[in-house]
A and B are shown apart, each in its own frame.
Chain A
């Protein structure tokens, strides 16, 4: 399992914990691990946050992704049983969707772009025209 997958799973745990702490007792988590982007959907079908908590949640998840925070302090996400770390989790993902109403329940969709592997740099040629850093033989 790579670091990207682990990070998204931790965010999923935080969403699960958030919904549980807010009172939801039926929560479904689903993940989609794509090549370029992975996403996590947390659904609480019969649970309505109400306008005040919904606005607070939207504002919490509104901020930009902050890798300088999440790659260092992200180790704390999904580990605590006594407090929510959703604000920290929000530095690790982009928020795609937040809805909550009495009919549809609550849905939170977050996603995270996978860092694309850097294109291999063309090998420099050595003094005698031979490529550096590799065997020249078959």
Chain B
């Protein structure tokens, strides 16, 4: 027996325990699938256009960014020109999308988040060479536990946060070919192999209040690896590459990019208002799959709007638009199909800005700028406990994130996810206790 078909969209209800608007994923999946493939192609063509379709120059640029150290912060735009990094982003994110589709993963919020995240980080750390061993490691784990790889593919693709480990071992240790490639691949495979169980376990630490859970996981793995390296007297070179300016080139492009998401969402979003109200009412806590819950139309509009919020912040504080910041914007945009929305990201960004203004940092510095964009992994705290809690989380995040990078030596690209996990793990028990007290008082 099957349930009768119900109206797909229900008015959003703001009370915490009520169910909210719900979309119709089976019908929306083909469109989500097309978005997953088309936007990587857009990055690819944009990169080729920036290189004036000079394929030799693009190939040289790709070779440069493959061989360069990838530990944080290594802005590909500062190392390989403007074209090759976007071609790299297009190729890596297209590979991620095709893997998801080949494994028949239901195209929904997590798929959008992971593809946009891979695209973003392919501007400063992930590349067509170093992502594969980590994915292979997770695949090996799936074989070892006799489960289908499709069950682990989200972790595998997010797990490419540890891709710099592959590049460092391959090109930073002075090993001779082909042993450098073998050693790099082995390091990535080993890191990937340990990711899935650890990622599942660490969800318990923050209870879903850190959207970048694999960042927390990769932070711990990176810390262990880096500790072993330091014990062996191995220092990791690299980092410190940060392209300046480029606002004139990228602001119009990003405006068109985010507008296209809003337009697409508006076209494919019947009863858009109900879905958007549901998204805004959502706490954003893991797992908040917006296309599944509210439909693809409202989710795409939300992605565009949050992208604009991030871009506005960078412009207002006078930050640079380069690989890491565009990566931050793309990650914010992707995760706006999987938990982020204006109501829960703004308090966190405000908290980072306030802390940066009051401290010795400046909001336009590298660390605080990235903390404001990537720190929105803590958006569920604002969504669940209110704007003040979100601002507190953002402020704490800033002061912690600029310190934890040393632990993993930049091997974990999701440094903000690592910090976000620690902040959420420390803050949420306290906030929950206060919330519980308030609930009891209200009875």
Interface positions of A (Cβ within 8 A of B):
21-22, 52-64, 66-69, 71-73, 75-76, 79-80, 82-88, 91, 95-98, 118
Pick 6 A–B contacts, CB within 8 A, sort by A.
Answer: A62-B22, A68-B105, A68-B151, A82-B432, A87-B22, A87-B289
A-chain residues with CB within 8 Å of residue B204 when the two chains form the complex: 75, 79
Instruction: Choose among B19, B106, B147 the residue that contacts A84 (Cβ–Cβ < 8 A).
Output: B19
**Residues 1-33 of B at the A interface (beta carbon under 8 Å):** 1-4, 6-11, 16-26
Whole-angstrom distance between the alpha carbons of A95 and B3 in the complex? 7
A71-B147 contact, Cβ under 8 Å, with A57-B19, A62-B22? yes
- Interface check B65, CB cutoff 8 A: no
A96 proximity list for chain B (CB < 8 A):
1-3
Whether A76 and B10, one on each chain, are in contact in the complex, defined by CB atoms closer than 8 angstroms, is: no
- The answer to whether A69 touches B22, judged by C-beta atoms less than 8 angstroms apart, is no
A58 touches B292 (CB 8 A): no
- Whether the pair B22, A60 counts as a contact (CB closer than 8 A) is yes
Give chain B nearest CB distance to A108 CB in angstroms. Answer: 9
Q: For A72, list chain B residues within 8 Å (CB).
A: 151-152, 154-155, 196, 199-200
Q: How large is the interface on B (under 10, 10 to 19, 20 to 34, 35 or more residues)?
A: 35 or more
* CB of B341 within 8 Å of the partner chain: no
Closest approach, in angstroms, between the C-beta of A107 and any C-beta of chain B? 11
18 additional contacts, CB 8 Å, given A76-B207, A86-B19, A96-B3? A55-B6, A59-B23, A59-B24, A62-B26, A67-B151, A68-B153, A69-B154, A72-B199, A73-B203, A73-B208, A73-B286, A73-B287, A75-B204, A76-B287, A87-B287, A87-B288, A95-B3, A98-B3
CB-based nearest A residue for B204: A75
A10 to chain B, nearest CB (A): 13
- Kindly identify which residue among B1, B19, B286 contacts A60, using a CB–CB cutoff of 8 Å: B19
Q: How far is the CA of A87 from the CA of B293 in the complex (A)?
A: 8
| Tally of A-B Cβ pairs under 8 angstroms | 126
Q: Residues of A contacting B8 with CB < 8 Å?
A: 59, 62
A56 touches B20 (CB 8 A): yes
> Does B283 sit within 8 A of A, measured CB to CB?
yes
B286 touches A76 (CB 8 A): yes
| Distance, CA A60 to CA B287, complexed state (A) | 13
Residue of A nearest to B103 (CB): A68
Task: Select B207's contact among A59, A80, A84, A95, beta carbons within 8 Å.
Answer: A80
Q: Is the CB of A68 within 8 A of B106?
A: yes
Contacts of B435 in A (CB 8 A): 82
Taken together as a complex, chains A and B put the C-alpha atoms of A72 and B158 apart, in Å, by 12
Give the complex CA separation of A121 and B3 in angstroms: 39
B367 to chain A, nearest CB (A): 30
B285: contacting residue among A53, A83, A98, CB under 8 A: A83
Tell whether, in the assembled complex, residue A56 and residue B19 are in contact, meaning their CB atoms are under 8 Å apart: yes
CB-CB under 8 A from B207, the residues of chain A are: 76, 79-80
With known contacts A73-B287, A76-B208, A87-B292, A63–B26 Cβ distance under 8 A? yes
What is the CA–CA distance of A87 and B108 in the complex, to the nearest angstrom?
13
